[in-house]
Structures are given as structure tokens and as C-alpha cells.
Structure 1
Amino acid sequence: MSEVELTTLRPRPLPRPSLSLPRLWRHTGVRRIVILALLALIWQAAALWQNNPLLFPTFTDTVKAFIEATTSEGMLWSALASLTVLLKGYAIAIALALALVSGAVAIPFLRDVLQTLTSMFNPLPAIALLPLAMMWLGLGEPALLLVLVHAVLWPFALATLSGFEQVPETQRLVGRNYGLRGPAYVVHILLPAALPSILSGLKISWAFAWRTLIAAELVFGVSSSQGGLGWFIYRNRNELLTDRVFAGLATVILIGLVVEMVVFRFIERRTVVRWGVQH
């Protein structure tokens, strides 16, 4: 018999995934970046056609104003001051809403009370309470907190209550069979099952609170000694610095995009998407 030489078998390296255009286009982030780039081009072209920087500055001028306002005008500190107040009011409203909804789930009369209050106050614009807040609490942070709590409380309570009411009866029976009652029943059964509706309410409430805060700060700052991002916009508008006004508005939009696309998307991926509840 002839001897057969055996060659050493070496594993072939796996082919690297190619970064083709169709593969890149399937990413949501890439598509959104392209959309933002197209909007910037349209902005630049419209501003050049208008040719009136006092009324409509170009995109490049706005970027320059944004850099100058960030480095020398303290716009980032104004945005941080606004976000600090927003998070305070947001947290207070979320805690109140969860307490009200938990009571409404347990007691039918409290459910009627919550639904009646939601029907009354949810259509009322939060900024409409600003004159009363200024009369009651003065030109300071407590007045802004009152307006923010109103902006967040009712839409979030409505979304959370709707989510609780849509929990399947099978899951409710499982919780009762395990002897869960009161807060434990809400935490272990209702909250996980209603989480998609709760997250939707959180996003809607965030948008309401953010635009309400900016509108309120256009009247007065975060406090009597420090102005927020809305006050920064209003002050530059009075000085006819339109490029900085647009830079402030762009900052409002960027913060909203970051919260929507990064923060809430991260929470959704770690919860409802991971659990298979939402795609």
C-alpha cells in the first residue's frame, strides 16, 4: 500500500461582513443621519435664496453661532439648568401619576376620580397655568415645577391607566394565584405587562414637558438669578442675534433627539424589545 501524506487542515477565516450600501441603509441610525443631512442642505439652500441673515440665517452661520454660544456665551450651562428643572418636575409628576394610577386600579371610586380629573385637565395647556403659577409662587423654580407637573401628570397617568386596563385577565389570575395583592400586584404583574404603554406615556410626557419648559422660560428664567435655554433664546431675540436664536432652537431639537433616539431607545431595547413584547 502506498503511503498517503496527510496535510494539516487549517480552519479558514470567516469572511468579514461587507459594509455595502444596502446593509448600511438597513440601520435606522444611518437613515436618520441622511434625513438630517438632507434637512440641513434644504435649510442652507433656502437661507441662501432668502438672502436675509437677520430673518433666516444659513445653516453654516447657525453652526458658527452654536460654537460661539457654547464656548463663550454659556449656552450649555443654560441647557443644563433647564434640564435640571425639567428632571425635577418630571420625577415629581411620574411619582404622583404612579400613586394615583395604583390607587385607581385598587379602588373603583378612585378610578372614576382619576378619569374625571384627566378629562378635565389633560386638554388644558400647561402654559395656560403660567400666570397663576407666577401669582402664587413668584418668578422662580417652584412656578416652573408646577407647570411641568401639570404637563406630565395627566398624559402619563392616562397612558399608564390604559396600559393597566389592557393587561390580559390570564396574567391577572396568575398574580392572584400567587397571592399578590396591593403594591406587590402592581409591581410584579401590572407594570411589566403594561410597560409598552408606560414607555409611550413617558415619551409623550417628556415632549410635553420639554416644550412647556422652553415656552415658560421665554417669559422668565429658571430662577431669578439664572436663566435657562428658553431665556437664552429670548434674550438673543431681543438683541436681534437671529443666528444665536437658531442655535438655541437647534439645541432644543438636539436634546429632544438625544432623549428620544438614545435614552428611550436604550430603555426599550433592554425591556420590551428584549422580552419580545415590542419590535
Structure 2
Amino acid sequence: MTATALTPPLRRTRSLHLNSAMRRVILAAGLIATWQAAILVIQPSPLLFPSPVEVARAIVASFQNGAIVDATGSTLRILGIGTGLGLVVGLTLATLAVLSRWVDDLLSLVVSVMNPLPSIAILPLTMIWFGLTPTAIVVVILNSTIWPIALNASMGFRMVSTTLQRSARTMGIKGIRMVVMVLVPASLPHLLTGVRIAWAFGWRTVVGAELVFGAAGGTGGLGYFINQARYYLETDVVFAGLVVISALGLLIEFGFSRIERLTIERWGMAKVN
């Protein structure tokens, strides 16, 4: 009788969990429908606020002429280079901080100074150093991604159980081997959080830099694409660029969620909702 009474709630919970993606699709459709309804009621000028249908047409047209595809590829390429370098440098700094108290103090000082600094603020300086080239934007992204990764990695390393570290030392594991074989796997949740924050900072930075910077080395990204549409008062194209940016953000966040489920949740390192 008890098992029978508990079965319906369990089934409802599983059903809700399995249909979470469908619920989000329905909510997104509801938001778009609300947007379209507001357009029909208020009837603003398309120059100021286009309808979802007009934005959809602009997206299709931009894909057909290849403009938004080239812009997206340019942005993702620069973002990937900057974030990849930030990951390498950030992990290197966190590793050195574990091995040396001097480096740990230096890292804490530099993070306190650089992390609150808006990365876009150093864009004029990188333009003076590197000129109108993609390298200037990569350096700006690098500055925005190093510190979240280094900070979260360092925090994760410090929170690893001392018992686990002592057990590893009794087996002769120390130095770099301790970091690679013990600290990195044990602090994976913090590392993923750092990379997740870093890519979000880098994503906003690259689009903002492209808005200010324009085309770099003859190519322009999504920020440049949006800014060019603004010059020609193509508001629907501006919205198309914003929709693509949001869609890419959702796609990358989904990728991070999948990685978390396949690693830290499956390994029992985080609570499964």
C-alpha cells in the first residue's frame, strides 16, 4: 500500500524532469507570442521595435547572404583563442600558487587589482600596442578570462581534503604530480565554474570590443555586424544579431551543463537536482 501510494508522485517527478526541455520551449514560445501580441496592440514603428516575424526574416536573409555566418565564425574564433590562452595561463598561475607561497601572495594581489577592472577599458591600450588587428581583441579577452579561472582553480586546490593530500604523499606523489593527479580531479567543480565564468566574461568582452573596435584585420564579428546595421537603421538586423548572440550563449551553457552531468554529477561530486 505504501509503495502504491508513493508511485504517482515519483512518476510525476520523473515526468517533470524528462519534460524540462519541452517546458523551456513552451516558455520561449510564450515569450515570443507575448512580444508579437505587444506589437499588434501598441503598433510601434518598425524602425524602433520590429516584430518577431520581421526579425526572423532578417535572420534568414543574413544567413542566406552569409553575413551573419562570417560574423559568427570570426567572433567564435577570436573568443576560442582568447579563452583557451586564458585557461592555460590561469591554470599555470594557480598551480604555481600551490607550489609557492610567494606566487600565491602575488596571485592574490594581482587578482585583487585586475579582476575588478573592466577588460574593455584596456582596449585603447591594446590598440596602441598591436594596432587594428585581432591580436588586440585576443589580449582583451585574455585579460577577462585569466583571473576567474586562476581564482576558482586556486580556491578549488585549497579546498581539497588534507587527508587526501597526505594519502597521496605517502604514495610518493608530490609537486606537479600532486597537482595533476590529485588537486585537479578533486577540484573539478571549481575548475568548471571558473571556465564557465571566464567564457561568459570573454563572450561579453569580445562583442563589446567588436562594437567599439569594428573590423579587425579585414574581418568583423557579431559586434561589428550589429554596429553596421545600426549605421543603416536596420533595426530588424540589429535584433537578428542579438538573437544569434543569445542563442549561441544558450547553446554553450547547454554544453557546460552536459559536461557537468557527465562528470561531477555522475562521479558524485555535486548534488543532482
TM-score by length of 1: 0.89
Aligned residue in 1 for 2:83 = 90
Aligned residue in 1 for 2:108 = 115
Alpha-carbon spacing, 1:228–1:172, altered in 2? closer, same or farther (3 Å): same
Aligned residue in 2 for 1:128 = 121
Superposed CA RMSD in Å reads: 1.6
Of structures 1 and 2, the larger Rg is shown by 1
Give the number of equivalent residue pairs: 259
Aligned residue in 2 for 1:72 = 65
**Which stretches of structure 1, 4 residues or longer, exceed 4 Å deviation after superposition?**
20-24
The residue correspondences of 1:7-18 to structure 2 (distance < 5 A) are none
**Residue type at the aligned position of 2:16:** W
Does the 8 A contact of 1:24 with 1:30 survive in 2?
A: no
2:34 corresponds, among 38, 42, 57, to: 42
**Residue type at the aligned position of 2:59:** F
Aligned residue in 2 for 1:211 = 204
In the alignment, structure 1 residue 160 sits paired with structure 2 residue 153: yes
1:179 corresponds, among 172, 176, 182, to: 172
In structure 1, the gaps of 5 or more residues are 1-19
1:25 corresponds, among 16, 38, 46, to: 16
Q: Comparing 195-204 with 70-79, which one deviates more in the overlay? A: 70-79
Aligned residue in 2 for 1:4 = none
1:192 corresponds, among 168, 177, 185, to: 185
CA–CA separation in structure 1 for the residues paired with 2:36 and 2:16: 25
Report SS of the residue matched to 2:70.
helix
The structure that is helix-richer by fraction is 2
In the alignment, structure 1 residue 223 sits paired with structure 2 residue 216: yes
**Residue type at the aligned position of 2:33:** L
Aligned residue in 2 for 1:11 = none
Does the 8 A contact of 1:221 with 1:227 survive in 2?
A: yes
**Residue type at the aligned position of 1:247:** A
**Residue type at the aligned position of 1:26:** H
1:277 corresponds, among 266, 269, 273, to: 269
In the alignment, structure 1 residue 236 sits paired with structure 2 residue 229: yes
In the alignment, structure 1 residue 267 sits paired with structure 2 residue 252: no
C-alpha deviations, 1:185-212, integer Å up to 9, x for none?
1111111111101111111111100010
Aligned residue in 1 for 2:99 = 106
CA–CA separation in structure 2 for the residues paired with 1:38 and 1:156: 37
TM-score by length of 2: 0.91
Q: Percent identity?
A: 39
